Structure 1
Amino acid sequence: MWGTNTFKEKVFFTKTPQKTSDLGEKFAAELKSGDIVFLKGDLGSGKTTFTQGVVKAFGNKGFARSSSFMLVNEYNADGIKLFHIDLYRLKLSSVWDIGIEEYLYSGNISLIEWADRLVGAENDNRWNVEIENTADTERKIKIEKKK
């Protein structure tokens, strides 16, 4: 999809939730152990739908649910864990108080919704995924690797 070590920034447009999930599934091929994915976008923009595609790509047979009420959902996938973290209900000042670094720096893959509340997380393996509503069901999805 992007090619090894050549990725800068890509912008995609999806017209349905299924296409957003499919893009997440394709994006998953770029992820490796230790990666952190910052998911940004308004409420209902498709962050969880995108994550469902990622979780599916790693062979999880279950349905990735929004973690808004559970803070962290954990999925086992082919020798690696995926952590789906949702910071929506947390204040900026309390994010680091919950021990989130144990997920982020565990050598697994962390997908973080409302990542703008995670101030101070510098990591060479960080991806930014910004999802924006552009029409009724259309989404603009910008994916960027931070190095």
Structure 2
Amino acid sequence: MKIHIIGGSGSGKTYLANRLSEEYNIGHYDLDDLLWDNKADSYGVKRNTDERYAMLQEILNKDNWIIEGVYYKWCKQCFADADRIFLLEVPRHTYRYRIIKRFIRRKLGLEKGKKETLKSLKDLLKWADSYSANDMTEIKKLVEPYENKVIRI
């Protein structure tokens, strides 16, 4: 089974990927880990395109995978190769609540994650609104050829 999960921040991608991964014993891959160089000395350093592409190809060559993330422009092969595509689209108040809740849980040490500030929270909320309004329209067009394997949530 090859599953691609796409949606904005706070849509439930990671939650769904973790549940499916446990249920079906399939490896779960977060596209953020491919885009960002987590070993870099500073925060926000992107991997070079060739390295990212090689990592993605390695995942796509596996018999089973669950890939989740917000990215779509450099992940077109993921959509083509997937057996199922979960398109997560949640109301604005829901994703904003989840993003703020996650921020608070991380600040309290109840959840691990990147170091965030109030400014980064504000920026993420603004980005999430833009993604929902603009990028989701492009994503819906991108998955039209694969409509028979799209599950909308």
TM-score (norm. length: structure 2):
0.43
When Rg is computed on C-alpha atoms for both structures, the one with the higher figure is: 2
Which structure features the higher share of helix residues?
2
Q: Relative to total residues, which structure has the larger strand share, 1 or 2?
A: 1
